[in-house]
Structure 1
Amino acid sequence: MNARILATLVAGAALLAVPAHAEEKTTGDKPAAAADYQPNSATKRFTGTFGGRTVNYTATVAEQVLKDDKGTPKAAIVTTAYVAEPRDPSRPVTFLFNGGPGSASVWLQMGAFGPKRVAIPSDARDDGAPPYPILDNPDSLLDVTDLVFIDPVGTGWSHVIGDTDPKDYWGVSQDAKSVAQVIRQWLNENGRWNSPKFLGGESYGTTRSAAVVNEFEGGYNDVSLNGVILISTVLDFAAGAETEGAELGYITTLPSFAATALYHGKAQAHSVEQFVEEARQFAIGPYAAFLLKGQKASAEERLAVRHELARFTGLSEVFLENADLRVTSGRFYKELLRDRGLTVGRLDSRYMGKDYDNAGEHPDNDPSFYGIDGGYTAAVNAFMRDTVGYKTDRQYITIGGVNDWDWRLKGGRDTNAYLNVAPYLGRALRENSGLRIYVGQGWYDFATPFFAAEYALSRTGIPQDRIQFHYYDAGHMMYVRDEDRTKLSRDIRDFIRNR
């Protein structure tokens, strides 16, 4: 399994609110060791207009304390909840998180669905230096659902308590168990057990979503869901692995190469939709057959495949031949615009960067990540601390707060083969007739390529009639593009309404 793929699956978010009157309370950090640990929290009321509807709502930033069987506090996971007033137990509630693993929910919260968002350039330019505009977000989903953003242990302000080892929470199954526990506690405390429930994640957050679904619906003590929202999906990690001898990743990445080449003028087609469909068919047809034959492929097959690869990727046949007709994504980022002295982004290949020099095989950095991170970090701290009034001396960790992640699945088949959580969703769909799945993918996303998501969710055992795909003209965090943020909001709003 490619360590770089596993380590850097990221995502993003939006929120803030119009100034208002209000009930306001806050408690400071307490010592993180005592058995009588008191959770930190802050609450404030606001009013905003979302989806054309004016909504009064309460913003609550609060630590959800997880305890062991003896009642000893083990971890404090921070949730940020936006709940419409007056409260309605029959109103939908949506639980959201980002990925990483090790990413806080700042991206989805301050970029897409919260009541405020940070404004960064919509046209794939760097976000520059502060101050960053923090704007009302009419694309927030608060008109149709209450929202609860979750920061797992090691992200945001979430932390272990006392001598608890944070690694107890750093793994596919361990993380899912803790997030499921947080959601159960929130339902208890807010009287929302019979509310329509939606679960949503971005990037590794989609992996987490499937694992949490398994925690909820894999036994008999169910938390039944109405819908799962997958944004920039990664479920089957073999589908994108760039490892010697593994061929599937070249197949699932090719349509993303084609979309990017077309965007930057290195290929010709009438539309991105038409071109990626041609690339899909070539990838699963002649290209897949060629790769599976390995060194037994004929010279004629090799020549035909090389010619088509050049057309789809915008790369020269000489370069393709030198790469043995197997181009890794890192090489593509560096090579596509080498003649212009530029690289393209991984999270969003619309972004272009300038390296120290034009030599080498891989970019110095990802211009689509350093092009957005400053604005989000500033906005989440300004809103939570200064507007809502959450008092803490802790640093807000946007991404990178975990290590030594345990990628093994607990229980289940093929534990020692490769990580694939898609079967969790297949089982849930088979056993919950009211469950539906929304999948949102950007054409220009190499962290979680759209064709890999399509592949993972089309496997046997996964009912197809309640899965819907939507595509966007941006990358991993499609909501950084204004038009796509509005489309994403509209698509998910319809998904929730049509439960």
Structure 2
Amino acid sequence: MISRIALAVAALALPLPLAAQDDPAPKDNPAPVEDYTANSASERFSGTFGGSRVSYTATIAEQVLEDDKGNPKAAIVTTSYIAEPRDPSRPVTFLFNGGPGSGSLWLQLGAFGPKRVDIPGDASDDGGPPYPILDNPDSLLDVTDLIFIDPVGTGFSRALGDTDPADYWGVTKDARSVAAVIRKWLNENGRWNSPKFLGGESYGTTRSAAVVNELEGSYNDVALNGVILISTVLDFGAGAETEGAELGYITTLPSMAVTALYHGKTSGVSAEAVAEEARQFAIGPYAAFLLKGQRAGAEERASVRRELSRITGLSEEYLERADLRVSSSRFYKELLRDRGLTVGRLDSRYTGRDYDSAGERPDNDPSFYGIDGGYTAAANSYFRDTIGFDTDRDYVTIGGVGDWDWNLAGGRDNNAYLNVTPYLGRALRENSDLRIFVGQGWYDFATPFFAAEYALTRTGIPQDRIVYSYYDSGHMMYIREQDRAKLSADIRAFIRAR
């Protein structure tokens, strides 16, 4: 039986329909592997990034993890972009996407790599091929070398021989394998004394916190200068929408408010102003009302209902039927029901048209099926044809892992509450140079901005080394040209300020 936390986590962190998560990744060879030759490909290029001309080497390589007897167990693929001539004192940044089960193509070909796929940034569908692969002046290669990591079951990465891929599928299992790849890469490239940054998107932020714990949580430290969190999910209880859980209604309310403003259902000066107004209502009168449960009085209920309607653009009648608790999925369907449209989960600027407009939840997420074709085609074309990585394996963009182990190390049962934020709190307390960048899209319901703020403002987390930045798009803010440039500039400044 799938636990409630597993269902809640899957609903929150995965940027894909849940059905795709049920497909197990294929096993390759039934026998143990005693000797394995890692596959790799390399090419030299040059480009202009952040206004600077940079010559660089692009390398796709399998990093082979072995057991304590030296037997190959997994081949984890990294794509590295290293400025030439090589400088061991130059910053190096390790990046990955989320899912869990997502390859690194989204950040690599959408935001920070030297090339990007050209898809519409105005919340319209990406259509059919060909999809142009363009130079990316917003790449961070002018300030840091870049290493993109595809964990087991994503991209071209896989378990080898009779190794069970489930050995790598879990919060802690996955983090340990990624940390091992980072240590291996540092060894092989002589970069132990380079300034180091770690970053991820969506579940990749969960992975970032867990990897920080693996790198800095023992005496054999790999000390970091910064952690980059993009579309953050750290505290899964903060967004859980299950019966009896009230916090998720609080943390998603500001996202509903800015979405209603964007689609003309409410009025306001700006997304930023509306978000702040909704934050204050959410943690004030609305939180007090929810905590009282059925003991809240009729007058208080009426007052909260009126304000909730004004903020969300939903009718008081609908809110009353929902007991003043509207789940995200209901909001996607209800906000624009009068127009026969639904709004997106990853990016609520997107709209879709369902089979009918009478249902309670959308058929699918228009902000995912509006971008997936372009990224998949571009990744396969670029990795195989441009860099020359020769493999008969499919590139797994997303959905390539099976059942995920959500328990953290140490034997603690986390089925009641999964929260990796304390890993970051400890790292900040024990590493005085560590800083955290948090980038959030206003229109992201998969990882709402207020839930990220909630997680990172709890006790035990130093606040003076956390930087927040917000964008006028959703989960993958970099698909919008203005926000890609802003994100690049923000992170470039973050790296330079070490």
TM-score greater than 0.5 by the shorter chain: yes
User: After superposition, where does 1:446-465 map in structure 2 within 5 Å?
Assistant: 446-465=445-464
Q: In structure 2, how many angstroms separate the alpha carbons of the residues matched to 1:5 and 1:419?
A: 9
After superposition, the C-alpha distances for 1:287-344 in whole angstroms (9 at most, x for unaligned) are 0000000000000010000001101110000000000000000000000000000000
User: After superposition, where does 1:93-492 map in structure 2 within 5 Å?
Assistant: 93-411=92-410, 415-492=414-491
What is the deviation of 1:412? 7.4
Is the 8 Å Cα contact of residues 12 and 239 (structure 2) preserved in structure 1?
no
Local SS of the residue matching 2:241: coil
Q: TM-score, normalised by structure 2?
A: 0.95
Letter in 2 for 1:432: N
Local SS of the residue matching 2:93: strand
User: Between Structure 1 and Structure 2, how many residues are aligned?
Assistant: 483
Local SS of the residue matching 1:156: coil
Residue 19 of structure 1 is matched in structure 2 by none
Q: In structure 2, how many angstroms separate the alpha carbons of the residues matched to 1:320 and 1:352?
A: 22
Q: In structure 2, how many angstroms separate the alpha carbons of the residues matched to 1:287 and 1:96?
A: 38
Residue 21 of structure 2 is matched in structure 1 by none
Q: In structure 2, how many angstroms separate the alpha carbons of the residues matched to 1:371 and 1:4?
A: 24
Is the 8 Å Cα contact of residues 44 and 59 (structure 1) preserved in structure 2?
yes
What is the deviation of 1:9? 2.4
Letter in 2 for 1:303: A
What is the deviation of 1:11? 6.4
Is the 8 Å Cα contact of residues 200 and 206 (structure 1) preserved in structure 2?
yes
Q: In structure 2, how many angstroms separate the alpha carbons of the residues matched to 1:412 and 1:267?
A: 48
What is the deviation of 1:32? 8.4
Residue 19 of structure 2 is matched in structure 1 by none
Is the 8 Å Cα contact of residues 11 and 107 (structure 1) preserved in structure 2?
no
Residue 43 of structure 1 is matched in structure 2 by 42
Q: In structure 1, how many angstroms separate the alpha carbons of the residues matched to 2:8 and 2:222?
A: 34
Q: In structure 2, how many angstroms separate the alpha carbons of the residues matched to 1:496 and 1:94?
A: 9
Residue 59 of structure 1 is matched in structure 2 by 58
Q: 2:10 aligns with which of 6, 11, 25?
A: 6
Is the 8 Å Cα contact of residues 76 and 160 (structure 1) preserved in structure 2?
yes
Distance 1:346 1:5, change over 3 A: farther
Is the 8 Å Cα contact of residues 6 and 406 (structure 2) preserved in structure 1?
no
Is the 8 Å Cα contact of residues 334 and 342 (structure 2) preserved in structure 1?
yes
Distance 1:397 1:362, change over 3 A: same
Is the 8 Å Cα contact of residues 35 and 72 (structure 1) preserved in structure 2?
yes
Is the 8 Å Cα contact of residues 118 and 134 (structure 1) preserved in structure 2?
yes
Distance 1:146 1:469, change over 3 A: same
Is the 8 Å Cα contact of residues 2 and 242 (structure 1) preserved in structure 2?
no
Letter in 2 for 1:9: A
Q: In structure 2, how many angstroms separate the alpha carbons of the residues matched to 1:296 and 1:98?
A: 44
Letter in 2 for 1:108: L
Distance 1:292 1:414, change over 3 A: farther
Letter in 2 for 1:3: L
Is the 8 Å Cα contact of residues 254 and 275 (structure 2) preserved in structure 1?
yes
Letter in 1 for 2:219: Y
Q: In structure 1, how many angstroms separate the alpha carbons of the residues matched to 2:341 and 2:10?
A: 26
After superposition, the C-alpha distances for 1:413-439 in whole angstroms (9 at most, x for unaligned) are 674531100000000000000000000
Q: In structure 1, how many angstroms separate the alpha carbons of the residues matched to 2:214 and 2:437?
A: 20
Segments of structure 2 that go 5 or more residues without pairing to the other structure are 17-27
Is the 8 Å Cα contact of residues 30 and 40 (structure 1) preserved in structure 2?
no
Q: In structure 2, how many angstroms separate the alpha carbons of the residues matched to 1:2 and 1:31?
A: 29
Q: In structure 2, how many angstroms separate the alpha carbons of the residues matched to 1:474 and 1:446?
A: 11
Q: In structure 1, how many angstroms separate the alpha carbons of the residues matched to 2:187 and 2:101?
A: 27
Is the 8 Å Cα contact of residues 7 and 100 (structure 1) preserved in structure 2?
no
What is the deviation of 1:5? 4.0
Is the 8 Å Cα contact of residues 199 and 225 (structure 1) preserved in structure 2?
yes
Q: In structure 1, how many angstroms separate the alpha carbons of the residues matched to 2:246 and 2:58?
A: 48
Local SS of the residue matching 1:222: coil
Letter in 2 for 1:92: P
Is the 8 Å Cα contact of residues 11 and 108 (structure 1) preserved in structure 2?
no
Is the 8 Å Cα contact of residues 111 and 478 (structure 2) preserved in structure 1?
yes
Q: In structure 1, how many angstroms separate the alpha carbons of the residues matched to 2:348 and 2:485?
A: 20
Q: In structure 2, how many angstroms separate the alpha carbons of the residues matched to 1:5 and 1:287?
A: 24
Residue 22 of structure 2 is matched in structure 1 by none
User: 320-329 vs 3-12, which deviates more?
Assistant: 3-12
Q: In structure 1, how many angstroms separate the alpha carbons of the residues matched to 2:157 and 2:429?
A: 34
Letter in 1 for 2:394: Q
Q: In structure 2, how many angstroms separate the alpha carbons of the residues matched to 1:311 and 1:184?
A: 52
What is the deviation of 1:411? 1.4
Distance 1:485 1:347, change over 3 A: same
Q: In structure 1, how many angstroms separate the alpha carbons of the residues matched to 2:405 and 2:412?
A: 17
Is the 8 Å Cα contact of residues 8 and 100 (structure 1) preserved in structure 2?
no
Residue 23 of structure 1 is matched in structure 2 by none
Local SS of the residue matching 2:228: strand
Q: In structure 2, how many angstroms separate the alpha carbons of the residues matched to 1:149 and 1:463?
A: 28
Local SS of the residue matching 1:260: helix
Is the 8 Å Cα contact of residues 2 and 241 (structure 1) preserved in structure 2?
no
Letter in 1 for 2:441: G
What is the deviation of 1:122? 1.0
Q: In structure 1, how many angstroms separate the alpha carbons of the residues matched to 2:311 and 2:11?
A: 28
Letter in 2 for 1:48: G
Is the 8 Å Cα contact of residues 5 and 447 (structure 1) preserved in structure 2?
no
Local SS of the residue matching 2:13: coil
Q: In structure 2, how many angstroms separate the alpha carbons of the residues matched to 1:289 and 1:351?
A: 33
What is the deviation of 1:272? 1.0
After superposition, the C-alpha distances for 1:365-415 in whole angstroms (9 at most, x for unaligned) are 000000000000000100000010000000000000001100001117674
Q: In structure 1, how many angstroms separate the alpha carbons of the residues matched to 2:120 and 2:297?
A: 49
Is the 8 Å Cα contact of residues 205 and 231 (structure 2) preserved in structure 1?
yes
The Cα RMSD (Å) is: 1.5
What is the deviation of 1:271? 1.0
What is the deviation of 1:461? 0.2
After superposition, the C-alpha distances for 1:177-236 in whole angstroms (9 at most, x for unaligned) are 000000000000000000000000000000000000000111100000000000000000
Distance 1:416 1:4, change over 3 A: closer
Q: In structure 1, how many angstroms separate the alpha carbons of the residues matched to 2:202 and 2:382?
A: 24
Q: In structure 1, how many angstroms separate the alpha carbons of the residues matched to 2:276 and 2:159?
A: 47
Letter in 1 for 2:86: R
Is the 8 Å Cα contact of residues 55 and 143 (structure 1) preserved in structure 2?
yes
Local SS of the residue matching 1:315: coil
Q: In structure 2, how many angstroms separate the alpha carbons of the residues matched to 1:94 and 1:10?
A: 24
Q: In structure 2, how many angstroms separate the alpha carbons of the residues matched to 1:30 and 1:38?
A: 15
Letter in 2 for 1:438: F
Give the fraction of aligned pairs with identical amino acids, expressed as a percent: 78
What is the deviation of 1:6? 2.0
